[in-house]
Amino acid sequence: MPDLEQLTLQSLSTTSGDTGLCDKVPLTRLKSIALDIGATQTVISIFECLALPAGVKVALCIPQIEGSQSFSDIFSAMDRASDGPSPVVRSLRAIRISNNGFVVQFNTSVAFKSHHYDSWNPADDDIPLSIQFTCNPLAHVQPTIIFELCRIASQDRIHSMFLELLYDLPELFWRTGSAGLLDLQVIHLSRNSIRGLIEALSIDDIQGSVVAYPSLRVLELEGTNFRDHEPEDLQHVIEQRAERGARIHELRLVGCIKNLTVDQVRLLEEVGVNVDGHKEETCADPSRYGYAPGRLF
């Protein structure tokens, strides 16, 4: 058992009793653990019975989450099971897979190897934490739980964020994220509305000192269907931020250039931002802007 390198557990019944009295199972050579075992308490009970080395890759599939407290309890148990410092993370990816279902993954690299999500238990060795979860509909959990998970897991030190299929995210969602992600320098949106983001990035004349995502340097929009006046509003936001010393250096348009006129693209370029609408690539390497990586757990 101490020589075990990969551990996968599925479909366990909920444990009961005081797991604090059980002897911890040492898995000194474990490299990855994947749990698809039901309720949050079952996940916690498993970690309470394990002694894990530092840097173990963790993948969790949880059928029902009541709220951010569920994640707090899970990460506390993971921290008690781990013997050493946690991995260093640089990026976050969040995908909506159903009305109440999400996948959130943390990466030690500035970008993900695979451009789109393909598994809650990815083979990539630079994803130390991947969580697929479904929120209890009766608990009315909001998409902002992504930022709660980010705060609990990585202490908000995330520098690249990739969001996919979250649809019409309101300004409140983006403002909530900005409150903690002050070091965020790259936002990648795939198949999402950008109205709420534009409103959050704008600088209110009354509260002009409040700049959302003050470190943002790269904005990549993939598969975005620009609605009426959104290109002009985005141009205005870019101008505002440049005037306040929070300039967006690069705007990447992937698979959405057809929704913009040549004149609209030219207006964006005239405000000093590099508009790239031809390369089907992921975001530029943000290390050029001097990232200081965050810590996971």
pLDDT tens for each residue of 3-29: 899 999 997 655 554 555 567 899 999
Contact criterion met (CB below 8 Å) for 189 and 211: no
Q: Give the predicted TM-score (pTM) of the model.
A: 0.86
pLDDT tens for each residue of 84-99: 877 888 899 999 999 8
pLDDT for 282 equals 38
User: CA 181, CA 192: separation in Å to the nearest integer?
Assistant: 20
User: CA 88, CA 48: separation in Å to the nearest integer?
Assistant: 23
**Full set of structural domains in the chain with CATH:** 86-295 (3.80.10)
